[in-house]
Amino acid sequence: MRTFIYPGSFDPFTKGHADIARRAALLCDRLIVAVMTNKSKSPAFSTEDRVWMATECLKNVPGVSVSAFGGLLVNFYKENGATAVVRGLRSESDFRFEAELAAANKLLYPSFEMLLLPCRSDLTFTSSSIVREVATYGGDITNMVPDEIRSFVAEHLRRTVEGEENHA
Ligand code: COA
Protein backbone atom coordinates (compact mmCIF):
# COMPACT_ATOMS: atom_id res chain seq x y z
CA MET A 1 0.00 0.00 0.00
CA ARG A 2 1.66 3.23 -1.12
CA THR A 3 0.42 6.15 0.93
CA PHE A 4 1.51 9.61 -0.15
CA ILE A 5 0.99 12.80 1.83
CA TYR A 6 0.52 16.17 0.15
CA PRO A 7 1.01 18.76 2.92
CA GLY A 8 0.52 22.51 2.81
CA SER A 9 -1.28 25.53 4.17
CA PHE A 10 -3.75 25.65 1.24
CA ASP A 11 -4.80 29.18 2.21
CA PRO A 12 -6.72 28.96 -0.09
CA PHE A 13 -6.56 25.81 -2.25
CA THR A 14 -5.63 26.74 -5.85
CA LYS A 15 -5.74 25.18 -9.30
CA GLY A 16 -2.01 24.50 -8.86
CA HIS A 17 -2.68 22.48 -5.71
CA ALA A 18 -5.54 20.60 -7.40
CA ASP A 19 -3.30 19.70 -10.34
CA ILE A 20 -0.54 18.33 -8.09
CA ALA A 21 -3.04 16.36 -5.96
CA ARG A 22 -4.73 14.79 -9.03
CA ARG A 23 -1.42 13.74 -10.57
CA ALA A 24 -0.02 12.45 -7.27
CA ALA A 25 -3.15 10.37 -6.68
CA LEU A 26 -2.38 8.43 -9.87
CA LEU A 27 1.03 7.44 -8.50
CA CYS A 28 -0.10 5.90 -5.19
CA ASP A 29 -2.88 3.85 -3.62
CA ARG A 30 -3.90 6.50 -1.10
CA LEU A 31 -3.21 10.24 -1.08
CA ILE A 32 -3.75 12.24 2.08
CA VAL A 33 -3.96 15.98 1.52
CA ALA A 34 -2.72 17.31 4.86
CA VAL A 35 -3.83 20.80 5.83
CA MET A 36 -1.34 22.34 8.24
CA THR A 37 -2.86 23.88 11.38
CA ASN A 38 0.37 25.39 12.79
CA LYS A 39 -0.30 29.00 13.74
CA SER A 40 3.01 30.34 12.36
CA LYS A 41 1.37 31.59 9.13
CA SER A 42 -1.84 33.23 10.57
CA PRO A 43 -4.02 31.92 7.75
CA ALA A 44 -6.83 33.94 6.16
CA PHE A 45 -9.10 30.86 6.16
CA SER A 46 -9.91 28.68 9.18
CA THR A 47 -8.67 25.10 9.32
CA GLU A 48 -12.25 23.89 8.74
CA ASP A 49 -12.60 26.06 5.63
CA ARG A 50 -9.24 24.92 4.26
CA VAL A 51 -10.13 21.25 4.79
CA TRP A 52 -13.54 21.87 3.19
CA MET A 53 -12.02 23.62 0.14
CA ALA A 54 -9.57 20.77 -0.56
CA THR A 55 -12.30 18.16 -0.02
CA GLU A 56 -14.72 19.95 -2.34
CA CYS A 57 -12.14 20.33 -5.12
CA LEU A 58 -10.98 16.69 -4.92
CA LYS A 59 -14.26 14.92 -4.16
CA ASN A 60 -14.28 13.14 -7.52
CA VAL A 61 -10.66 11.96 -7.37
CA PRO A 62 -10.42 8.29 -6.26
CA GLY A 63 -8.13 7.43 -3.36
CA VAL A 64 -7.89 10.96 -1.94
CA SER A 65 -8.75 12.04 1.59
CA VAL A 66 -8.19 15.36 3.35
CA SER A 67 -7.05 15.73 7.00
CA ALA A 68 -5.81 18.52 9.22
CA PHE A 69 -2.45 18.11 10.92
CA GLY A 70 -0.44 20.09 13.46
CA GLY A 71 3.09 19.81 14.77
CA LEU A 72 5.84 18.08 12.84
CA LEU A 73 5.22 16.60 9.41
CA VAL A 74 7.34 13.51 10.21
CA ASN A 75 4.98 12.56 13.03
CA PHE A 76 1.97 12.72 10.72
CA TYR A 77 4.01 10.74 8.16
CA LYS A 78 4.81 7.97 10.66
CA GLU A 79 1.27 7.84 12.10
CA ASN A 80 -0.16 7.26 8.63
CA GLY A 81 2.46 4.75 7.47
CA ALA A 82 3.34 7.04 4.55
CA THR A 83 5.80 6.09 1.82
CA ALA A 84 6.43 9.61 0.51
CA VAL A 85 5.52 13.28 0.76
CA VAL A 86 4.58 14.98 -2.49
CA ARG A 87 5.21 18.65 -3.20
CA GLY A 88 4.79 20.78 -6.30
CA LEU A 89 7.80 22.50 -7.82
CA ARG A 90 7.13 25.84 -9.50
CA SER A 91 10.56 27.43 -9.69
CA GLU A 92 14.19 27.28 -8.64
CA SER A 93 13.35 29.08 -5.41
CA ASP A 94 10.78 26.38 -4.59
CA PHE A 95 13.51 23.79 -5.11
CA ARG A 96 15.77 25.37 -2.52
CA PHE A 97 13.00 25.40 0.10
CA GLU A 98 11.87 21.86 -0.72
CA ALA A 99 15.43 20.49 -0.62
CA GLU A 100 15.88 21.97 2.87
CA LEU A 101 12.54 20.55 3.98
CA ALA A 102 13.44 17.10 2.66
CA ALA A 103 16.87 17.15 4.29
CA ALA A 104 15.54 18.27 7.67
CA ASN A 105 12.79 15.66 7.63
CA LYS A 106 15.26 12.95 6.66
CA LEU A 107 17.45 13.87 9.63
CA LEU A 108 14.39 13.47 11.86
CA TYR A 109 13.26 10.23 10.20
CA PRO A 110 15.72 8.46 7.84
CA SER A 111 12.96 6.58 5.96
CA PHE A 112 11.34 9.89 4.96
CA GLU A 113 11.03 10.34 1.18
CA MET A 114 9.90 13.33 -0.85
CA LEU A 115 8.70 13.43 -4.46
CA LEU A 116 8.68 16.74 -6.32
CA LEU A 117 6.25 17.11 -9.20
CA PRO A 118 6.88 19.95 -11.66
CA CYS A 119 3.89 22.30 -11.86
CA ARG A 120 1.91 22.81 -15.03
CA SER A 121 3.62 25.65 -16.90
CA ASP A 122 0.47 27.83 -16.95
CA LEU A 123 0.24 27.60 -13.15
CA THR A 124 3.88 28.36 -12.38
CA PHE A 125 3.11 31.77 -10.92
CA THR A 126 -0.06 30.89 -9.04
CA SER A 127 0.20 31.02 -5.27
CA SER A 128 -2.22 31.35 -2.40
CA SER A 129 -0.97 34.84 -1.54
CA ILE A 130 -1.51 36.04 -5.13
CA VAL A 131 -5.07 34.65 -4.99
CA ARG A 132 -5.65 36.45 -1.68
CA GLU A 133 -4.30 39.72 -3.05
CA VAL A 134 -6.30 39.59 -6.29
CA ALA A 135 -9.58 38.55 -4.61
CA THR A 136 -9.21 41.12 -1.84
CA TYR A 137 -9.29 43.88 -4.46
CA GLY A 138 -12.15 42.32 -6.40
CA GLY A 139 -10.01 40.87 -9.23
CA ASP A 140 -10.95 37.83 -11.27
CA ILE A 141 -9.56 34.60 -9.77
CA THR A 142 -11.18 32.29 -12.34
CA ASN A 143 -7.86 31.04 -13.73
CA MET A 144 -6.31 30.50 -10.30
CA VAL A 145 -8.93 28.79 -8.16
CA PRO A 146 -11.03 25.68 -8.92
CA ASP A 147 -14.63 26.44 -9.95
CA GLU A 148 -16.02 24.50 -6.96
CA ILE A 149 -14.71 27.04 -4.44
CA ARG A 150 -14.31 30.21 -6.48
CA SER A 151 -17.31 32.13 -5.17
CA PHE A 152 -16.63 30.99 -1.59
CA VAL A 153 -13.01 32.25 -1.77
CA ALA A 154 -13.97 35.57 -3.40
CA GLU A 155 -16.81 36.20 -0.93
CA HIS A 156 -14.76 35.25 2.15
CA LEU A 157 -11.87 37.54 1.23
CA ARG A 158 -14.19 40.40 0.25
CA ARG A 159 -15.97 40.12 3.62
CA THR A 160 -12.63 40.01 5.46
CA VAL A 161 -11.45 43.24 3.85
CA GLU A 162 -14.82 44.93 4.48
CA GLY A 163 -14.62 43.89 8.14
CA GLU A 164 -11.11 45.36 8.39
CA GLU A 165 -12.26 48.65 6.78
CA ASN A 166 -15.19 48.92 9.20
CA HIS A 167 -12.83 48.54 12.15
CA ALA A 168 -10.32 51.07 10.79
N1 COA B 1 0.34 25.66 -6.76
C2 COA B 1 0.09 26.85 -6.23
N3 COA B 1 0.74 27.33 -5.16
C4 COA B 1 1.65 26.55 -4.61
C5 COA B 1 1.96 25.28 -5.10
C6 COA B 1 1.25 24.84 -6.24
N7 COA B 1 1.47 23.66 -6.79
N8 COA B 1 2.93 24.75 -4.35
C9 COA B 1 3.22 25.65 -3.41
N10 COA B 1 2.45 26.74 -3.57
C11 COA B 1 2.48 27.97 -2.78
C12 COA B 1 1.43 28.05 -1.76
O13 COA B 1 0.24 28.57 -2.31
C14 COA B 1 2.06 29.00 -0.77
O15 COA B 1 1.90 30.29 -1.25
P16 COA B 1 1.92 31.59 -0.35
O17 COA B 1 3.17 31.54 0.47
O18 COA B 1 1.90 32.63 -1.37
O19 COA B 1 0.70 31.55 0.49
C20 COA B 1 3.53 28.66 -0.84
O21 COA B 1 3.70 28.03 -2.07
C22 COA B 1 4.04 27.70 0.19
O23 COA B 1 2.95 27.14 0.83
P24 COA B 1 2.72 25.64 1.16
O25 COA B 1 2.92 24.72 0.05
O26 COA B 1 1.41 25.61 1.80
O27 COA B 1 3.88 25.36 2.11
P28 COA B 1 4.06 25.86 3.54
O29 COA B 1 5.37 26.53 3.57
O30 COA B 1 2.92 26.63 4.05
O31 COA B 1 4.07 24.52 4.32
C32 COA B 1 4.85 22.35 4.97
C33 COA B 1 4.95 23.50 4.00
C34 COA B 1 3.45 22.16 5.47
C35 COA B 1 5.25 21.09 4.23
C36 COA B 1 5.85 22.64 6.09
O37 COA B 1 5.68 23.94 6.60
C38 COA B 1 5.72 21.65 7.23
O39 COA B 1 6.02 20.50 7.09
N40 COA B 1 5.25 22.12 8.38
C41 COA B 1 5.07 21.29 9.57
C42 COA B 1 6.17 21.53 10.60
C43 COA B 1 7.37 20.79 10.18
O44 COA B 1 7.44 19.58 10.23
N45 COA B 1 8.35 21.57 9.70
C46 COA B 1 9.52 21.01 9.11
C47 COA B 1 10.55 20.77 10.12
S48 COA B 1 11.89 20.06 9.27
| Minimum CA distance residue for ligand 1 atom 11 | 127
- Tell me if 160 CB under 6 Å of ligand 1: no
- Tell me if 8 CB under 6 Å of ligand 1: yes
User: Is 121 an active-site residue?
Assistant: no
Return d(Cα 10, Cα 89) in angstroms, integer.
15
- 28 domain residue, yes or no: yes
- 82 domain residue, yes or no: yes
- 152 domain residue, yes or no: no
Check which CATH number belongs to the domain holding 13 and give it. Answer: 3.40.50.620
User: Is 59 an active-site residue?
Assistant: no
Kind of pairing between the strands at 64-69 and 84-89: unpaired
State which residues form the domain around 112: 3-124
- 77 domain residue, yes or no: yes
pLDDT in tens, 21-41: 999 999 999 999 999 999 887
Grade residue 16 by pLDDT with cuts at 50, 70 and 90.
very high
What confidence score (pLDDT) does residue 13 get? 98
What are residue 89's phi and psi, to 5 degrees?
A: -120, 115
Residues 6+ apart with CB under 8 A from 8: 17, 33, 34, 35, 36, 87
- 133 domain residue, yes or no: no
- 164 domain residue, yes or no: no
Domain total in the chain: 1
- 145 domain residue, yes or no: no
Return d(Cα 10, Cα 31) in angstroms, integer.
16
- 75 domain residue, yes or no: yes
- Tell me if 7 CB under 6 Å of ligand 1: yes
pLDDT in tens, 59-116: 999 999 999 999 999 999 999 999 999 999 998 889 999 999 999 999 999 999 999 9
User: Is 50 an active-site residue?
Assistant: no
Which ligand 1 atom sits closest to the C-alpha of 71?
42
Q: Which among 15, 87, 90, 156 is annotated as catalytic?
A: 90
User: Is 90 an active-site residue?
Assistant: yes
- Tell me if 128 CB under 6 Å of ligand 1: yes
